[in-house]
Amino acid sequence: PGRYAVRLKYGAETLTQSFEVRAHPGVSASAEDLRQQFELVRQAAQGLTSAHEAVIQIREAKSQIQEISDRAEKLGKGKEIQAKGKALVEKLTAIEKKLVNPDLKSSQDVLNFPPALDHQFAGLASVASSADAKPTDSSWTYLKQIQGQLDATLAELKTAFDQDLAEFNKLVREKDVPPVVVPPPRKES
């Protein structure tokens, strides 16, 4: 609830209109309760986004590692590169599985495979936004817990990129094969 303004720009013309969002009269939650709910859901969404962005980086790195390993083999320089690449891909896959569970293909798969951090953030956001109410203390506690797990996993990923991938790239350069480059996370626009 609150006063807002909307701006519409078309060519050189700009129109602005103010409006008010009012709380549903049947909802007993205060504006502060709803602000807290929004904040919890926002933080859960940020955690989900961070997990998915890390998975995109991991999958890109794994793809490049495989391409370079294959290229090195074709050049007759592959044995050492392939061994180091395989170990790095396995390490990155283990980190990826903490962030998302690639075995989940349908909604029923959560019955057979444990969900990873992405499902935990999405589930928390879903529960917190299911009613117009202040989040429970346990929701905040759980958010803090999974944020801690995410931070630890992202730190593990950073170490893998900074150390293991750097070693792989060094070996690739020594063998005169182009290295892996991890793209930076996408910027929100």
Three-state secondary structure readout of 69-100: HHHHHHCCCHHHHHHHHHHHHHHHHHHHHHHC
Question: Among residues 183, 187, 180, which one has the least CA distance to residue 70?
Answer: 180
Single-letter code of the amino acid located at 120: Q
Give the containing element (helix H, strand E) for 15: strand 13-21
pLDDT in the model for residue 66: 94
pLDDT in the model for residue 26: 87
pLDDT in the model for residue 185: 77
Q: What angle do CA 30, 123, 38 make, to 5 degrees?
A: 25
Do β-strands 13-21 and 2-10 pair in parallel, antiparallel, or remain unpaired?
A: antiparallel
State how far the Cα of 170 lies from the Cα of 173, in Å rounded to an integer: 5
Give the CA count within 13 Å in the CB-facing half-sphere of 129. 14
Beta bridge pairs of residue 20 = 3
Six-digit token string for 155: 């730190």
pLDDT in the model for residue 76: 83
Write out residues in the chain with pLDDT < 50, as ranges. Answer: none
pLDDT in the model for residue 90: 97
pLDDT in the model for residue 176: 86
Specify the pTM.
0.82
pLDDT in the model for residue 114: 81
pLDDT in the model for residue 189: 59
Torsion of CA 65, 66, 70, 72, to 10 degrees: 10
State how far the Cα of 108 lies from the Cα of 126, in Å rounded to an integer: 17
State how far the Cα of 179 lies from the Cα of 176, in Å rounded to an integer: 9
pLDDT in the model for residue 56: 96
